Amino acid sequence: MLSPRTPPGVTTELELPPLAVPMATLGDNEAELVAALKRRDEMAFVTLLQRYQGQLLRLALVYCRTTELAEEVVQDTWLGVIQGIDRFEGRSSFKTWLFQILVNRARTRAVREGRMLSFSSLAEEAETQSEPAVPADRFRALDDLWPNNWAVPPHSWGESPEALLLGAETMELVQRAIAQLPPAQVQVITLRDVEGWSSEEVCNVLEISETNQRVLLHRARSRVRAALEAHFEERNR
Domain containing residue 205: CATH number:
1.10.10.10
Query: pLDDT 10s digit of each residue in the chain, 237 long?
Result: 454 444 444 443 444 343 333 444 445 688 899 999 999 999 999 999 999 999 999 999 988 888 999 999 999 999 999 999 999 988 889 999 999 999 999 988 887 776 554 445 555 655 565 655 555 665 566 676 666 665 555 555 455 555 555 566 777 888 889 989 988 899 999 999 989 999 999 999 999 999 999 999 999 998 888 888 777 776 666
> Could you give the number of structural domains in the chain?
2
Same domain membership, residue 230 and residue 201:
yes
Same domain membership, residue 142 and residue 71:
no
The span from the first CA to the last CA of the chain, in angstroms, equals 63
Any residues with CB less than 8 A from the CB of 46 and at least 6 apart, and which? Answer: 8, 9, 16, 17, 19, 23
pLDDT for 95 equals 94
pLDDT for 10 equals 46
Domain boundary among 112, 142, 157: 112
Dist CA 159 CA 232 (whole Å):
10
Expressed as residue numbers, the domain containing 133 is 121-235
Any domain includes 15: no
Dist CA 13 CA 164 (whole Å):
34
Domain boundary among 112, 139, 172: 112
Kindly report the backbone phi and psi dihedral angles of residue 150, in degrees, each rounded to the nearest multiple of 5, phi listed first: -60, 130
Domain boundary among 85, 112, 139: 112
Same domain membership, residue 226 and residue 140:
yes
Per-residue CA distances from 229 to 176, 224, 225 (Å): 14, 9, 6
Instruction: Answer for the pair 161, 154: CB distance below 8 angstroms, yes or no.
Output: no
pLDDT for 124 equals 60
Q: ∠ CA 53-58-63 to the nearest 5 degrees?
A: 120
Any domain includes 214: yes
Same domain membership, residue 226 and residue 127:
yes
pLDDT for 137 equals 61
- Residue 52's CATH number: 1.10.1740.10
